[in-house]
Structure 1
Amino acid sequence: MSRSTDRQTDPVAVTTSLAAEAALLEGRLSLLREAIETVDARIDAVSETLRRLHRSAAGPTDSAAPAGRESGIGLDHSTKGRD
């Protein structure tokens, strides 16, 4: 028996298998997106805490820069490139 006849497969079985794999990957993608949202929320909370601490440590006279931009460092919360 030649190798090509050994590897013949049922198109319906292949399609079913690929559809199942696609569904599994979509589920994993959904879980990863949820995890990213959770991490983003945590980053926001920690950033806000750090801004409050920085403002309280700087005192009431240091109002030259807008809140959250004291050091020129900001977080990019865009979702561009995540899909």
Structure 2
Amino acid sequence: MAATASLAAEAALLEGRLSMLREAIETVDARIDAVSETLRRLRHSAAAHSVNEAPADQESGTGIDHSTSGRA
């Protein structure tokens, strides 16, 4: 009888730990989803920004390629 009671107590303890681990996994999954969504938004924002951004020579109005001027 003592072995049965011990095993039942251990099973209850393990079920409690399992429940805690499942909750922790759900929390981590939710955080992963939130971070993934933030990264998607940042990528989308960066892509939209780079498409709308004029190159430096167009902004200055000179048409000069500043990356090669002054080099021999």
Same fold (TM over 0.5): yes
Higher RCO (CA < 8 A, seq sep 6+): 1
Gaps (5+ residues) in structure 1? 1-11, 63-83
Gaps (5+ residues) in structure 2? 52-72
1:26 aligns with 2:15: yes
CA RMSD in angstroms comes to: 1.7
**Under a length normalisation based on structure 2, what TM-score does the superposition of the two structures give?**
0.67
Q: Deviations along 1:8-62, whole A, 9 cap, x unmatched? A: xxxx100000000000000000000000000000000000000000000001797
Q: Percent identity?
A: 80
**Under a length normalisation based on structure 1, what TM-score does the superposition of the two structures give?**
0.58
Paired AA for residue 22 in structure 1? A
Across the two proteins, how many residue pairs are aligned to each other?
51
Select the structure that is richer in helix: 2
1:13 aligns with 2:2: yes
Rounded Cα–Cα distance in structure 2 between residues aligned with 1:61 and 1:43 = 27
